[in-house]
Amino acid sequence: MKSTRFTEVSNIGIKNAVESSFPHFMNKRWQFFRHTSISDLEIACEPNFGWSVDALKSIACASRRDWNRFSK
């Protein structure tokens, strides 16, 4: 799995980081998914103010217990 590090935490900074890591997304409409359970994803609505690190954290893995299970 490829990870992306966000150095600029504004909406445009997050989108630029994703598009530089995944060039096939450039000039296309793409969205983040919300992780609702280990096996279920749903499209995450973009916040009115755009993406931020806090907004991305809100759609990430639910708990440390789940994260530890994935990382083993």
pLDDT tens string 29-68: 888 887 777 677 778 888 888 888 788 877 775 444 444 4
Residue 23 pLDDT: 92
Residue 47: CA count within 13 A, CB half-sphere: 14
3-state helix, strand, coil in the chain (%, to 5): 40, 10, 50
Quote the number of domains for the chain: 1
Residue 5 belongs to a domain: no
Residue 4 belongs to a domain: no
Domain range for residue 29?
Answer: 11-71
Residue 50 pLDDT: 82
Length of the chain: 72
Residue 31 belongs to a domain: yes
How many Å apart are CA 66 and CA 61, to the nearest integer?
7
For residue 21, is pLDDT > 50? yes
